[in-house]
């Protein structure tokens, strides 16, 4: 495929299958672009960065564009770069801008960009923000972490989730609560397990945790907790289908992270109508809303234990949480995410069109 931007001849000529045609026709942009998506996460990774890069590339293809994923920018021609992670992808951002100063560039902001590197290592992080034509965040409170001069570039695009499959039969022997998180420090992944130790002895609570361990030490800690705590089960890395089945069976989801950029698991829980018990951090409040009744303070084991007991013992409280997540459902519809990305790409298309015109005049 030519790296140059080409006028779309027809929506059907760019749709590689009948499945693509509805989105190309409904949302497709006036210009076709070759897009390179940069993520620091390796192809075999199941990290949030890799998952986001894959979903964005698929979405761009659904809009009728070409998209490829790379961990570093190799210098190959592209009409647009979308770089996930301002700090980790700073080198790729710099190289693309030096090679192609007239081509549009989007930087996707991760949680560690917003809540760690912008303070800890500001020079490369802020350079990426300065270089980008647009910034993308996944939740509404990201704006307040950006220096004012960059806020005009920001677009908030909530990650969508597909409609849930029919719910699996829930166990009557246990009251299962899901934790869907990798074992690493920023996730505070064993907080729910610790809280489960504090519920009354008569409770049927069971914490079912899926997600890989970043290190052998984390795996050792999870296994030790499972040995000592009969209310905790760690199943390690599992497929996306298994995650969806777990959400289908769970009475609630616990998200205990110290910081998040906007966890897609919240989108999945909301769309599935699964109540979320979340640490009160920007990344969750920006998705669930300031008035959501299911927050606890970061690291507050006792507060989480009280909430876990309440959702089991008080059906009305559980119903209140469920109603609150259902009311957020429209934010996470696939059509809304696709339309938001179409609008953003259309903002950048005139710059690509101008570049094409200049090349023709040479």
d(CA 50, CA 52): 5
Please name every residue paired with 32 in a beta bridge, in sequence order, or none if there are none. Answer: 6
More confident residue, 97 or 354: 97
Q: Which of 354, 181, 164, 201 shows the shortest CA–CA distance to 283?
A: 181
359 CB burial (10 A radius; 0-12, 13-18, 19+):
exposed
User: Does residue 312 lie in a domain region?
Assistant: yes
Segment 195-206 shows an average pLDDT of 98
Q: Which of 48-52, 77-81, 199-203 shows the lowest per-residue confidence on average (mean pLDDT)?
A: 48-52
Tokens standing for 290?
A: 């300031």
Q: Would you say 27 and 342 are in contact if contact means Cβ atoms under 8 Å apart? A: yes
pLDDT value at residue 165: 73
- Provide the 10 A C-beta neighbour count for residue 55: 15
Q: Which of 332, 324, 272, 271 shows the shortest CA–CA distance to 295?
A: 324
Residue with tokens 């960009």: 113
219 CB burial (10 A radius; 0-12, 13-18, 19+):
middle
Q: Which of 342, 339, 340 shows the shortest CA–CA distance to 33?
A: 342
User: Does residue 186 lie in a domain region?
Assistant: yes
Instruction: Check whether residue 196 and residue 280 sit in a common domain.
Output: yes
**Percentage above 90 pLDDT, the chain:** 80
Residue 22 pLDDT level (bands cut at 50, 70, 90): very low
Q: Which of 31-35, 136-140, 333-337 shows the lowest per-residue confidence on average (mean pLDDT)?
A: 31-35
Helix (H, G, I), strand (E, B) or coil at 31: strand
Q: Would you say 207 and 179 are in contact if contact means Cβ atoms under 8 Å apart? A: yes
Write down how long the chain is.
362
pLDDT above 80 for 90? yes
Q: For residue 205, what is the enclosing H or E element?
A: strand 205-210
User: Does residue 170 lie in a domain region?
Assistant: no
Q: How many domains does the chain have?
A: 2
pLDDT above 50 for 17? no
d(CA 105, CA 4): 16
Tens of pLDDT, residue by residue over 108-158, are 999 999 999 999 999 999 999 999 999 999 999 999 999 999 999 999 999
Instruction: Check whether residue 17 and residue 81 sit in a common domain.
Output: yes
Tens of pLDDT, residue by residue over 221-271, are 999 999 999 999 999 999 989 999 999 999 999 999 999 999 999 999 999
d(CA 196, CA 105): 46
pLDDT above 60 for 81? yes
User: Does residue 23 lie in a domain region?
Assistant: yes
Q: Would you say 282 and 142 are in contact if contact means Cβ atoms under 8 Å apart? A: yes
Instruction: Check whether residue 151 and residue 257 sit in a common domain.
Output: no
Tokens standing for 82?
A: 């979308």
Instruction: Check whether residue 106 and residue 33 sit in a common domain.
Output: yes
User: Does residue 82 lie in a domain region?
Assistant: yes
Q: Which of 36-50, 62-76, 79-93, 197-211 shows the lowest per-residue confidence on average (mean pLDDT)?
A: 36-50
Q: Would you say 170 and 251 are in contact if contact means Cβ atoms under 8 Å apart? A: yes
Segment 179-191 shows an average pLDDT of 96
- Provide the 10 A C-beta neighbour count for residue 293: 14
Instruction: Check whether residue 247 and residue 353 sit in a common domain.
Output: no
| DSSP assignments along 324-353, one per residue | HHHHTGGGG-HHHHHHHHHHHHHHHHHHHH
Total H helices, total E strands in the chain: 15, 14
| DSSP assignments along 149-175, one per residue | GGGGGEEE-PPP-PPPPPPPPPPSS-E
pLDDT value at residue 240: 87
Instruction: Check whether residue 212 and residue 112 sit in a common domain.
Output: no
| Angstrom distances, CA of residue 347 to CA of 155, 196, 275, 308 | 11, 49, 36, 45
Instruction: Check whether residue 44 and residue 137 sit in a common domain.
Output: yes
pLDDT above 80 for 164? no
More confident residue, 170 or 168: 170
Residue 73 pLDDT level (bands cut at 50, 70, 90): very high
Residue 98 pLDDT level (bands cut at 50, 70, 90): very high
Collect all residues with Cβ–Cβ distance below 8 Å to 122 and sequence separation of at least 6. none
Instruction: Check whether residue 212 and residue 91 sit in a common domain.
Output: no
Collect all residues with Cβ–Cβ distance below 8 Å to 226 and sequence separation of at least 6. 232, 233, 234
Segment 163-169 shows an average pLDDT of 71
Instruction: Check whether residue 107 and residue 235 sit in a common domain.
Output: no
pLDDT above 70 for 347? yes
Instruction: Supply the CATH number for residue 220's domain.
Output: 3.40.50.2000
Tens of pLDDT, residue by residue over 214-233, are 999 999 999 999 999 999 99
Instruction: Check whether residue 133 and residue 266 sit in a common domain.
Output: no
Residue 362 pLDDT level (bands cut at 50, 70, 90): low
pLDDT value at residue 40: 87
Q: Which domain holds residue 97?
A: 6-157+333-357
pLDDT value at residue 358: 52
Instruction: Report the mean per-residue pLDDT for the chain.
Output: 89
244-247-249 Cα angle (round to 5): 115
């Amino acid at each position: 495929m030519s790296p140059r931007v080409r006028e779309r001849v027809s929506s059907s000529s760019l749709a590689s299958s009948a499945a693509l045609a509805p989105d190309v026709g409904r949302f497709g942009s006036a210009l076709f672009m070759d897009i390179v998506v940069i993520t620091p996460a390796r192809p075999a990774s199941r990290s949030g960065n890799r998952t986001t890069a894959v979903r964005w590339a698929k979405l761009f293809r659904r809009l009728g564009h070409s998209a490829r994923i790379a961990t570093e920018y190799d210098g190959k021609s592209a009409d647009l770069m979308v770089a996930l992670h301002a700090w980790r992808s700073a080198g790729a951002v710099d190289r693309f801008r030096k090679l192609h100063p007239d081509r549009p560039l989007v930087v996707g902001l991760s949680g560690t960009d917003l809540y760690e590197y912008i303070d800890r290592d500001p020079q490369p992080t802020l350079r990426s923000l300065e270089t980008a034509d647009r910034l993308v965040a996944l939740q509404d409170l990201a704006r307040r972490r950006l220096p004012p001069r960059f806020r005009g570039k920001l677009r908030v695009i909530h990650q969508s989730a597909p409609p849930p499959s029919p719910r699996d039969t829930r166990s009557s022997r246990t009251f299962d609560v899901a934790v869907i998180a990798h074992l690493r420090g920023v996730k505070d992944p064993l907080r729910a397990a610790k809280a489960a130790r504090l519920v009354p002895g008569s409770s049927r609570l069971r914490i079912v945790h899926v997600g890989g361990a970043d290190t052998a030490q984390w795996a050792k800690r999870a296994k030790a907790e499972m040995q000592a705590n009969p209310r905790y089960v760690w199943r390690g890395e599992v497929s996306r289908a298994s995650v969806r089945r777990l959400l289908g069976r769970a009475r609630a989801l616990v998200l205990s992270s110290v910081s998040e950029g906007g966890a897609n698991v919240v989108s999945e829980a909301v769309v599935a109508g699964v109540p979320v018990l979340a640490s009160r951090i920007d990344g969750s409040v920006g998705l669930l809303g300031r008035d959501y009744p299911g927050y606890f303070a970061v690291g507050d084991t006792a507060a989480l234990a009280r909430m876990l007991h309440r959702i089991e013992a008080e059906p009305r409280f559980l119903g209140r949480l469920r109603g609150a997540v259902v009311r957020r459902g429209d934010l996470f519809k696939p059509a809304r995410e696709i339309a938001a990305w179409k609008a953003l790409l259309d903002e950048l298309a005139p710059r690509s069109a101008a570049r094409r015109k200049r090349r023709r005049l040479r």
